[in-house]
């Protein structure tokens, strides 16, 4: 997600701003900060529960623990769907420094990391007594916001062209928020291990290769 935020979102945002005659760093900075704030607000409002945590976050509610686990993953799938949507929108208009191959590279990279996310949902639900089929369905539903968000953004391509640099950096900010607030702490939870660090490095390299090779 870090590599995708830089190569697939922030750099194209800066390049497109140059093409539009704007000061390159302004749309990238504003959009990035708005993305951070957007996820921060959602994180504060939506009731959700992180893995291996007993204290729910967001507004108090009477939702089941399993529902809040699903909402936690769903919450950080929102920026991923936005990221895919805005990169395809950029590729469609043809002047955002984004190729269709690059957009597919981002989609593939995000799809790869969705497999463990689905397992993060399904395995705890199965451990709590839910059937395999139902746990599997919950895992799939947690990611349904991604294609929905991407499709909506693509359908609105013509309308978002003037603000596409802001949307690209907005999606980058939202994804970086998820990495810092959710993924890094969870990867370092429990007994000290270098697995999370090694995994992050490998993921960064894979996404960079996909984006540069196909973009």
pLDDT at 11 over 70: yes
96 pLDDT above the threshold of 60: no
Predicted confidence band of residue 95 (pLDDT cuts 50, 70, 90): low
Q: Would you list the domain boundaries of the chain? A: 2-214
Question: Rounded to whole angstroms, how far apart are CA atoms 7 and 9?
Answer: 6
Residue 61 pLDDT level (bands cut at 50, 70, 90): confident
Enter the tokens of residue 86.
């805005």
Residue pLDDT, tens place only, 48-60: 776 666 677 778 7
**What residues contact 155, with CB distance under 8 A and at least 6 apart?**
none
> Can you give the pLDDT at residue 33?
96
Sign of the alpha-carbon torsion through 155, 107, 39, 168: negative
Question: What six digits make up the tokens of 146?
Answer: 């991604």
Residue 31 has a pLDDT of: 94
How many C-beta atoms surround the C-beta of residue 203 within 10 A?
18
Instruction: Choose the most confident range, by mean pLDDT, from 31-45, 72-86, 174-188.
Output: 31-45
Q: Which of 35-44, 173-182, 185-194 has the lowest mean pLDDT?
A: 185-194
Instruction: Specify the pLDDT at position 161.
Output: 78
Q: Is the pLDDT of residue 118 over 80?
A: no
For residues 170 and 206, the model is more confident at 170
Residue 102 tokens, joined: 């690059």
- pLDDT number for residue 30: 95
- Mean of the per-residue pLDDT values for the chain? 80
Helices (runs of H) and strands (runs of E) counted in the chain: 11, 0
- Work out the number of other CB atoms within 10 angstroms of the CB of residue 24: 16
Q: Look at residue 36 in the predicted model and tell me its pLDDT.
A: 92
Residue 53 confidence (pLDDT): 66
Region 20-25: mean pLDDT is 86
| Residue 161 burial (10 A CB sphere; 0-12, 13-18, 19+) | middle
Nearest Cα residue to 1 out of 189, 174, 164, 170: 174
CA distance 147 to 174: 17
Mean pLDDT of 78-84: 84
Candidate from 105-109, 151-155, 185-189 with smallest mean pLDDT: 185-189
Question: Which of 7-16, 88-97, 98-107 reaches the highest mean pLDDT?
Answer: 7-16
């Amino acid at each position: 997600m870090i590599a995708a935020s830089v190569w697939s979102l922030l750099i194209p945002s800066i390049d497109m701003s140059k093409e539009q005659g704007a000061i390159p760093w302004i749309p990238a900075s504003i959009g990035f900060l708005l993305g951070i704030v957007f996820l921060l607000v959602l994180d504060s409002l939506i009731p959700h529960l992180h893995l291996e945590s007993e204290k729910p976050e967001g507004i108090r509610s009477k939702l089941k623990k399993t529902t809040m686990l699903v909402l936690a993953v769903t919450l950080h799938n929102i920026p991923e769907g936005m990221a895919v949507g805005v990169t395809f929108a950029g590729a469609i208009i043809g002047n955002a420094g984004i190729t269709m191959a690059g957009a597919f590279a981002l989609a593939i990279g995000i799809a790869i990391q969705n497999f463990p996310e689905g397992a993060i949902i399904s395995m705890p639900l199965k451990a709590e007594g839910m059937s395999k089929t139902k746990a599997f369905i919950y895992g799939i539903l947690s990611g349904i916001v991604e294609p929905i968000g991407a499709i909506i953004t693509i359908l609105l391509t013509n309308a978002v062209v003037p603000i596409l640099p802001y949307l690209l950096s907005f999606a980058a900010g939202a994804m970086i928020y998820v990495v810092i607030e959710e993924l890094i702490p969870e990867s370092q939870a429990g007994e000290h291990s270098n697995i999370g660090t090694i995994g992050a490095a490998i993921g960064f390299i894979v996404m960079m290769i996909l984006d540069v090779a196909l973009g």
